[in-house]
């Protein structure tokens, strides 16, 4: 009898639908950019001076991925569960130490994402100099729409990004307000990692983050990219 390769069946590869393609986008790593809109950095009490600072990143496990349209339980361990509306850049080609001028070649496409956050746990960790994992990298915390292939969109330099909770606008900004733009992020991140097809990058949220409760419906929109929807269910 042939020996099995694994003790049990490995979990399925996390993936996202691709607009206009029956094949799905297999998600490799999830990178997230912190504090990439000035007004959000200020509302978090940590203003950014681009001249003297570098972008910073945290990661979410690929298993944290949830497709747009889902209902997720209000997560455990928090009393301050926040939305963060973000442009997601999907990487489709390998890149290491890429120049900003070449960064577009890495982009497979774009998506609309929610970096859901246990804000109370994140801020405790931040203020104690501890990792953000409990606040950021938890189950069903990386919500993402279908991926729109880049086509002739090129590098997105502007476009409305907004978010509503139960139809009320909570975030409204423009991609032109990104502190570090898409080529700058890809060039910088690729100094630290060998970027691979399947990596996705949440590029940061504008101002107006806030809490949601069970029963709330979140709807986010990015011009020319798409929409992301999430419903908050009861706690488990
Ligand atoms: Mn974020």
Instruction: Please state, in angstroms and rounded to a whole number, the distance separating the CA atoms of residues 48 and 182.
Output: 17
Centre of ligand 1 from the C-alpha of residue 86, in Å:
7
Q: 125: exposed, middle or buried (C-beta count within 10 Å: 0-12, 13-18, 19+)?
A: middle
In percent, the amount of the chain with pLDDT more than 90 equals 98
Centre of ligand 1 from the C-alpha of residue 114, in Å:
8
pTM of the model: 0.97
Q: How much is the average pLDDT of 128-141?
A: 98
pLDDT in tens, 185-227: 999 999 999 999 999 999 999 999 999 999 999 999 999 999 9
**SS3 label, residue 125:** helix
Centre of ligand 1 from the C-alpha of residue 7, in Å:
36
CATH for the stretch 15-233: 3.90.850.10
In this prediction, residue 169 carries a pLDDT of: 98
pLDDT in tens, 67-88: 999 999 999 999 999 999 999 9
Centre of ligand 1 from the C-alpha of residue 180, in Å:
14
Centre of ligand 1 from the C-alpha of residue 206, in Å:
9
pLDDT at residue 49 tops 80: yes
pLDDT at residue 35 tops 80: yes
Q: What are phi and psi of 119, to 5 degrees?
A: -60, -40
pLDDT at residue 1 tops 70: no
**SS3 label, residue 142:** strand
Instruction: Classify 125 in phi/psi space as left (phi over 0), alpha (psi -120 to 50) or beta.
Output: alpha
pLDDT at residue 3 tops 90: no
Centre of ligand 1 from the C-alpha of residue 182, in Å:
15
Centre of ligand 1 from the C-alpha of residue 115, in Å:
5
Instruction: Classify 188 in phi/psi space as left (phi over 0), alpha (psi -120 to 50) or beta.
Output: alpha
Centre of ligand 1 from the C-alpha of residue 20, in Å:
28
Domain residue extents for the chain: 15-233
Centre of ligand 1 from the C-alpha of residue 57, in Å:
9
In this prediction, residue 2 carries a pLDDT of: 79
In this prediction, residue 111 carries a pLDDT of: 98
């Amino acid at each position: 009898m042939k020996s099995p390769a694994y003790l049990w069946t490995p979990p399925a590869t996390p993936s996202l639908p691709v607009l206009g393609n029956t094949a799905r986008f297999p998600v490799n790593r999830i990178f997230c950019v912190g504090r990439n809109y000035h007004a959000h950095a200020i509302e978090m009490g940590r203003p950014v001076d681009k001249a003297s600072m570098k972008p910073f990143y945290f990661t979410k496990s690929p298993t944290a991925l949830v497709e747009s349209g889902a209902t997720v339980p209000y997560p455990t361990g928090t009393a301050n569960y926040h939305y963060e509306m973000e442009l997601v850049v999907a990487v489709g080609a390998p890149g290491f130490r890429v120049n900003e001028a070449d960064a577009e070649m890495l982009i497979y496409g774009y998506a609309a994402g929610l970096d859901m956050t246990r804000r109370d746990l994140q801020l405790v960790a931040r203020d104690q100099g501890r990792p953000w994992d409990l606040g950021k990298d938890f189950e069903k915390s990386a919500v993402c729409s279908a991926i729109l292939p880049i086509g002739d969109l090129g590098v997105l330099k502007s476009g409305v990004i907004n978010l509503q909770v139960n139809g009320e606008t909570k975030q409204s900004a423009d991609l032109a307000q990104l502190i570090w733009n898409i080529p700058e992020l890809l060039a910088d991140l690729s100094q630290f990692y060998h970027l691979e097809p399947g990596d996705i990058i949440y590029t940061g949220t504008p101002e107006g983050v806030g809490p949601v409760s069970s029963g709330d419906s979140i709807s986010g929109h990015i011009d020319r990219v798409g929409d992301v929807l999430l419903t908050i269910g009861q706690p488990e």
